[in-house]
Amino acid sequence: MDDQIKNAEESFEIIRKMIENEKVRFNENGFVYLFWGWLAIFAASLQYALLFSGVRQNYYAWFVMLFGGVYMYFYFRNKKGSTPMPLTGKVLSTIWIIIGLNIWIFAFLFPVTAGNLLLFFILAMIGVGTIISGALIRFSWLTYGGIVCNILAFATIFAPPIYWGAISIVAIIFADLIPGYMLRAKYHNQNV
């Protein structure tokens, strides 16, 4: 029995060390969340400006996100350097690529079908991705931001579309910007 307990303790210690090594190698500095957060706020604000200027295809403002995707591709390709991406980074990358593709397919191929549930779907997907990200990197600000984003997703069901831009901006502030700045502060405190 003592051997089993000792083996279990050794196993837990090995797992704990792996998790700590993963966290050190991942070392999230908040840049990704800040980049996407500010880009999404820019797109939502641009859409609002186009909407109030009478432009029918005001949703074209969101195509700016494609440029963000291209930038992120080159950013991570150049950042790789000599250390391979840790498992946490690979999982998060895959999750967000799948979420992004689903949002783009749904928003631009089926906007009429989506109707009044379009923003609900988008914010719910972002909220779930943010909650998962917070759980994976063990950062509660992301988890809380994802929860707020999910709550705001449900609020869009009852809000007229004219308010969707404002709801999007508030959701992004909680899901990306606040956690991004908190991650940046945590990163700077650890690397001082």
Listed residue (115, 125, 52) closest to 95, CA to CA: 125
Q: 179 with 134: CB under 8 angstroms?
A: yes
**CB atoms closer than 10 angstroms to residue 49:** 13
Nearest to 16 by CA among 27, 6, 5, 8: 8
Confirm whether pTM is higher than 0.85: no
Are 134 and 143 a contacting pair, CB within 8 Å?
Answer: yes
Q: What is the pLDDT of residues 43-75, one digit of tens each?
A: 999 998 998 899 988 888 988 999 998 998 888
Amino acid in the structure at residue 39: L
Model confidence pLDDT, tens digit, residues 93-114: 899 999 989 998 888 788 777 7
Percent of the residues in the chain that have a pLDDT greater than 70, as a whole number: 82
Hey, how many other C-beta atoms are within 10 angstroms of the C-beta on 6?
A: 10
pLDDT-based confidence at 6, cuts 50/70/90?
Answer: low
d(CA 81, CA 153): 38
Residue 121 has pLDDT above 90, yes or no: yes
